[in-house]
Amino acid sequence: MYRYLNILLVAVICIFLSGCAGRMNPNFEPPVVSLHTFRALPQQGMTPTFEIGLNILNPNRDPLELEGIYYTVSIEGYQVLAGVSSDLPTVPAYGQSDISLLANVDVIGGINFFASLISDPREVFEFSFNAKLDPGGFNPKILIQEKGEFSLGGKRI
């Protein structure tokens, strides 16, 4: 009796694992995500809000249905903005979509950044934009990182 239960258990586990493997597309290519706008919105509360515009390019034959995104912006290593969104469009197969995200100021990170700026003034700053896209299901998260520099004069280097 136990022998049949063990065989049944192994069969169920194999069916479950093959079902999970079938949900992951081995030919899936990560989307190309580019940062195309970044601007401050008119202030309506105590903390400023920023709009981040992304362009997502889907190089796959299947539409990309994103369930969520988590993103941060750091300046000189200090996280100054963060946000999340679950209101994302479906990116068509071999297509692209623009999305607009709202990010709120991380007050502690902002204070630490300005404190470092007072002790070490400079004109050129390094920034990084990090995002984690969730395509849902058993698909792995898509990590995006963009780095660059900007100057106080507003020119990106």
CATH of the domain at 102: 2.60.40.10
What is the secondary structure of 24-59 as a DSSP string? S-TT--PPEEEEEEEEEPPP-SSS-EEEEEEEEE--
| Number of compact structural domains in the chain | 1
Least confident of 16-25, 36-45, 48-57, 134-143: 16-25
Q: Is residue 108 part of a domain?
A: yes
In a domain, 157, yes or no: no
112 belongs to a structural domain: yes
Please indicate, yes or no, if residue 2 is contained in any of the structural domains.
no
Question: Residue 86 sits in which domain range?
Answer: 28-151
Residue 101 · residue 73 · CB < 8 Å = no
> CA 11, 12, 18, 21 torsion: positive or negative?
negative
Q: Is residue 19 part of a domain?
A: no
- Flag whether 119 is in a domain: yes
Query: What pTM was computed for the model?
Result: 0.72
In angstroms, the CA 120 to CA 22 distance is 54
Domain membership of residue 121 (yes or no) is yes
pLDDT score recorded for residue 25: 65
Band of residue 3 on the pLDDT scale cut at 50, 70, 90: low
Q: Give 140's DSSP letter.
A: P
What does the pLDDT look like over 38-74, one tens digit per residue?
888 887 777 788 888 999 999 989 898 899 999 999 9
Q: Which of 65-79, 120-134, 139-153 has the lowest mean pLDDT?
A: 139-153
- Helix or strand holding residue 8 (H, E): helix 2-23
Give the burial string for 33-42 (b: 16+ CB within 10 Å, else e). bebeebeeee
Q: What is the mean pLDDT of residues 76-98?
A: 92
- Does the pLDDT of residue 80 top 80, yes or no? yes
User: Kindly report the CA angle at 39 between 38 and 43, in degrees rounded to 5?
Assistant: 145
Is residue 1 in a domain? no
| Per-residue model confidence (pLDDT) at position 44 | 75
* 127 and 78 Cβ atoms separated by less than 8 Å: no
Query: Rounded to the nearest 5 degrees, what angle is found at the Cα of 135, between the Cα atoms of 129 and 138?
Result: 125
